[in-house]
């Protein structure tokens, strides 16, 4: 079925029908389209186009459609798009009354409304996934509050940090992602309904009532803008892409940390795979796939930006290309975050291996130089002196703990017993007691605060209309 045709003498080519049809993917807007149509029926009754009986007959038919829609093959149809499909189904139920439902309505405002409703619920879903991931990170930090990691810069051992501090770094990233999604949610939460094709509806609809019916926080201010605006979809794709970028960084860390070479942690059987040839293999496929899917999410953002570039106002059919990239990203991000939480929940840390790597490396070199600086040596000289100690260690195959105080004092007579404690990475942790630092007290406080912050997120994501 089509919602147009009177002006045409011949039908469209079959190839074009297939080319332009969108039902096979926009069927995912079904529930949103039905909700939007119910709200629109209410508005039509208010302006006297539908009687109360007609309005409730239409509502009943829509409710029946919602309960049938789970049946297999329900969407096997050749309608042009989901809006046409819904009206045809309505017609099958209420007869010619269905012809009134599109009075003063355009698919341009309809698809904008449906898509916003869909994106709002996808955002809430992603936020809830992020909350459980953040909960998993905190739970691991709580299980292993003392594990010590050689922190890296340039992938070279740099300074010791608590593994809990490292986990909280990812907590912060996912926290920002949640906030970005929230901002996207607020910009999506605007109702286009009543904007018509581009000029605003020709009927005096109460747009605020329609918005309230659909759980939108406000109504759009300009009809031309809102039928052509897909910024909300871009916002979602951007927030989702950044979320995936963060997830892929954690994935990359753990792919490395779980190698035989690092041996800092072991991934659970739940998220690893074997090799068809090499019996010994236990590969981190879940995290590799996540890293790979991140590319697709970023590609989807690019894809929609390119679709929107240079589009003249207002609606153009190009905009139909907005959906698949958003649907795909929503699926990918939601599954990826779920997988990542499972990886975190099932990982087994090897704190002894981490600590050995920290102790064998020179992660305390900075602490030693700072001891000298506190004793009045200029930091430049202190840096030179400790550099000399490290060079000598490398030449003589010595680890930090192999040095005696007397040997160290040959490099710098200012050094006393405090130098020996500074050489133990765990001791050096306590120096970093600034806000946001890795001293155990600071990390404990940050962990507690993070827990409370996480609870406050759930209050938002579990409220509201979706
Ligand atoms: N399937 C279309 C889309 O996704 C619906 C709007 C069609 N409007 C139109 N004037 N052709 O954008």
Q: What is the mean pLDDT of each run of 10 residues along the chain (466 residues)?
A: 80 92 98 98 98 98 98 97 98 97 96 98 98 98 97 97 98 98 98 98 98 98 98 98 98 98 96 88 95 98 98 97 98 98 98 96 94 94 96 95 95 92 91 95 98 94 66
373 domain-assigned:
no
What is the predicted pLDDT for the residue at 275?
86
Residues marked active site are found at 154, 275
431 domain-assigned:
no
The number of the ligand 1 atom at minimal distance from the alpha carbon of 22 is 1
The domain boundary, picked from 53, 73, 103, lies at: 103
Residue to mutate (ligand 1; options 37, 111, 196, 304; most atoms within 8 A of CB)? 111
The number of the ligand 1 atom at minimal distance from the alpha carbon of 319 is 12
349 domain-assigned:
yes
Cβ–ligand 1 contact at 22 (below 6 Å): yes
Cβ–ligand 1 contact at 107 (below 6 Å): yes
Residue to mutate (ligand 1; options 320, 321, 324, 325; most atoms within 8 A of CB)? 320
454 domain-assigned:
yes
234 domain-assigned:
yes
Residue to mutate (ligand 1; options 29, 36, 81; most atoms within 8 A of CB)? 81
Spatial contact of 416 and 368, defined as CB atoms under 8 Å apart: no
CA of 176 to the centre of ligand 1 (A): 34
User: What CATH number is attached to the domain comprising 344?
Assistant: 1.20.200.10
CA of 226 to the centre of ligand 1 (A): 14
CA of 320 to the centre of ligand 1 (A): 6
CA-nearest of 73, 75, 79, 44 to 58 is 44
The domain boundary, picked from 81, 103, 125, lies at: 103
Shared domain check, 116 and 64? no
CA of 317 to the centre of ligand 1 (A): 6
Shared domain check, 114 and 55? no
Shared domain check, 223 and 97? no
What residues pair up with 349 in beta bridges, in sequence order? 265
Cβ–ligand 1 contact at 80 (below 6 Å): no
Q: Tell the residue nearest (CA) to atom 12 of ligand 1.
A: 320
Shared domain check, 340 and 208? yes
Shared domain check, 152 and 280? yes
Cβ–ligand 1 contact at 438 (below 6 Å): no
209 domain-assigned:
yes
Rounded CA separation 17/8 (Å): 15
pTM of the model: 0.95
What is the predicted pLDDT for the residue at 465?
45
Q: Tell the residue nearest (CA) to atom 11 of ligand 1.
A: 317
CA of 107 to the centre of ligand 1 (A): 6
The number of the ligand 1 atom at minimal distance from the alpha carbon of 83 is 5
CA of 229 to the centre of ligand 1 (A): 13
Distances (CA, A) of 365 to 386, 390, 401, 417: 7, 8, 12, 15
The domain boundary, picked from 53, 69, 103, lies at: 103
Shared domain check, 344 and 270? yes
Cβ–ligand 1 contact at 108 (below 6 Å): yes
The number of the ligand 1 atom at minimal distance from the alpha carbon of 315 is 10
Number of domains composing the chain = 2
What domain range includes position 68?
A: 14-103
Shared domain check, 85 and 115? no
Q: Which residues contact 102 (CB under 8 A, 6 or more apart)?
A: 3, 87
What is the predicted pLDDT for the residue at 3?
79
184 domain-assigned:
no
Please count the other Cβ atoms lying within 10 Å of the Cβ belonging to residue 452. 8
3 domain-assigned:
no
Please count the other Cβ atoms lying within 10 Å of the Cβ belonging to residue 323. 22
Q: Tell the residue nearest (CA) to atom 3 of ligand 1.
A: 320
Shared domain check, 86 and 129? no
Shared domain check, 213 and 332? yes
Shared domain check, 338 and 268? yes
User: What CATH number is attached to the domain comprising 36?
Assistant: 1.10.275.10
What is the predicted pLDDT for the residue at 464?
57
Cβ–ligand 1 contact at 81 (below 6 Å): yes
Shared domain check, 221 and 74? no
Cβ–ligand 1 contact at 395 (below 6 Å): no
Shared domain check, 330 and 261? yes
């Amino acid at each position: 079925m089509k919602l147009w045709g009177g002006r045409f003498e011949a039908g469209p080519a079959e190839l074009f029908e297939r080319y332009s049809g969108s039902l096979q993917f926009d069927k995912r807007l079904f529930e949103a389209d039905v909700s939007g149509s119910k709200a629109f029926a209410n508005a039509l009754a208010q302006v006297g186009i539908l009687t109360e009986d007609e309005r409730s007959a239409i509502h009943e038919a829509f409710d029946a459609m919602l309960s049938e829609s789970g049946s297999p093959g329900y969407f096997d149809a050749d309608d042009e798009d989901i809006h046409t499909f819904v009206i045809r189904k309505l017609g099958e139920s209420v007869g010619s009354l269905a012809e009134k439902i599109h009075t003063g309505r355009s698919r341009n405002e309809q698809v904008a409304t449906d898509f916003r409703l869909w994106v709002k619920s996808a955002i809430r879903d992603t936020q809830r996934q992020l909350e459980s991931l953040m909960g998993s990170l905190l739970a691991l930090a709580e299980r292993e509050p003392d594990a010590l990691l050689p922190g890296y810069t340039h992938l070279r051992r740099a300074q010791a940090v608590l593994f809990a501090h490292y986990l909280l770094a990812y907590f912060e990233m996912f926290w920002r992602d949640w906030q970005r999604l929230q901002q996207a949610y607020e910009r999506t939460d605007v109702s286009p309904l009543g904007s018509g094709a581009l000029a605003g509806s020709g009927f005096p609809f109460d747009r605020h009532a329609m918005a309230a019916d659909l759980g939108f926080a406000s109504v759009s201010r300009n009809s031309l803008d809102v039928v052509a605006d897909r910024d909300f979809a871009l916002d979602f794709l951007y927030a989702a892409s950044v979320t995936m970028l963060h997830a892929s960084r954690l994935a990359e860390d753990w792919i490395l940390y779980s190698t035989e070479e690092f041996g800092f942690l072991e991934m659970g059987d739940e998220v690893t795979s074997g090799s068809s040839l090499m019996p010994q293999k236990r590969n981190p496929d879940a995290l590799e796939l996540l890293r790979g899917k991140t590319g697709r999410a970023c590609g989807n953002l690019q894809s929609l930006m390119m679709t929107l570039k240079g589009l003249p106002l207002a609606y153009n059919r190009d905009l139909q290309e907005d959906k698949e990239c958003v649907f795909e990203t929503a699926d990918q991000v939601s599954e990826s975050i779920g997988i990542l939480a499972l990886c975190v929940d099932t990982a087994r840390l090897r704190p002894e291996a981490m600590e050995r790597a920290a102790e064998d490396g020179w992660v305390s070199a900075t602490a030693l130089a700072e001891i000298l600086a506190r004793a009045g040596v200029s930091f430049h000289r202190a840096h030179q002196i400790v550099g000399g100690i490290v060079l000598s260690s490398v030449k003589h195959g010595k680890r930090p703990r192999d040095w005696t105080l007397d040997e160290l004092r040959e490099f710098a007579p200012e050094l006393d017993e405090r130098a020996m404690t500074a050489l133990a990475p765990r001791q050096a942790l306590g120096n970093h007691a600034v806000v946001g630092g890795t001293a155990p007290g600071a990390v404990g406080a940050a962990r507690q605060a993070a827990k409370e912050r996480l609870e406050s997120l759930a209050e938002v994501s579990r409220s509201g209309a979706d």
